[in-house]
Amino acid sequence: MDLVFEYILTVQFALFVFVVVTLKSSIKFVPQNRAWIIERFGKYQSTKEAGLNFIIPFVDKVAADRSLKEQAFDVPSQAAITKDNISLTVDGVLYFRVLDPYKATYGVEDYVFAVTQLAQTTMRSEIGKIDLDKTFEERDMLNAKIVSSINEAAESWGVAVLRYEIKDITPPGTIMEAMESQMKAERERRAKILESDGEKQAAINIAQGDKQARVLAAEAEKQEQVLKAEGEAKAILAVADAQAEALRVVGEAAATEDGQKAIQLDLATKAIAAKQAIAKESSIVLLPDGSTEVANVVAQATSILNVLNNK
């Protein structure tokens, strides 16, 4: 009985161990952003995604563990020849991710190797289509074309290339020296252009300053002449007004009896002064025909004034 009891315990323990091992083998926890490829008797059975999954122990097995994260791989340096027959050394970085774990497992032996090799060949092909100068200017365009070409071929591998970045483009030493000389000449040319532009602008500024100075001087001279003319006109008007006022005062005074006498006296004085002036200037002396000539002149002038006053 003891032997039978021990045998039963052993069988029970063995069954317990078998059940535990079976459960442990059948329960699979797939990590986040990963996918397991399950094969049954060597044939594809299913793809297990993140979380709790069950398989049949001893029948199913995990054939491949694929990461669904974005992956970055360094593309080794390689030689490439441009359209103008210049040899370059180019390297880059490739970013891609697995979209279809089934295709990545059964569509290609090693999808990482296949994608990097395809990136190298595509890069050489694209660089061969452009000249040396454009390889530096159109780097973004090169990256976009490489990504597009790789994705066309990698679609059957279940891989999507997200982007490709060229890290370094290294031309030969002689080409580098020629490019440096060209850049130096270009910098000198730009410096000369800037210097000439500065001199030109300075000359223009000086000419404009001279022009403005002449314009201001002319305007000042014109204003001075205008003011001078206005002053002279005002002076003439003032003199005329004074003369008119003097004549008016004289006329008013001449209309009186005393004024008439003063005029007669003034005329007589001027007549005598005129006779004396003529006698001084001429060698011929004309004697009056009578002693009353001066009186006669005064009388004639007085009669003329009376006529004017009556009118």
CB 93 within 8 Å of CB 27: no
What domains are defined for the chain? 2-67 (no CATH), 71-171 (3.30.479.30), 256-310 (no CATH)
User: In b/e form, how buried is each residue of 255-271, taking b as 16+ CB within 10 angstroms?
Assistant: eeeeebeebeeebbeeb
Residue 236 has pLDDT above 50, yes or no: yes
Model pLDDT, residue 298: 56
Task: For residue 186, name the pLDDT band (cuts at 50, 70, 90).
Answer: confident
Residue 199 has pLDDT above 70, yes or no: yes
Tens-place pLDDT, residues 126-160:
888 888 878 877 888 888 888 988 888 888 889 99
Model pLDDT, residue 98: 92
Question: pTM surpassing 0.75?
Answer: no
Residue 26 has pLDDT above 70, yes or no: yes
Model pLDDT, residue 2: 62
Task: For residue 42, name the pLDDT band (cuts at 50, 70, 90).
Answer: confident
Q: What percent of the chain lies above the pLDDT cut of 70?
A: 78
Model pLDDT, residue 290: 46
Q: What is the mean pLDDT of residues 273-287?
A: 60
Q: What is the mean pLDDT of residues 241-255?
A: 74
Give the pair of three-digit tokens for residue 31: 């990590």
Query: What is the average pLDDT score of the chain?
Result: 79
Q: What is the mean pLDDT of residues 165-188?
A: 77
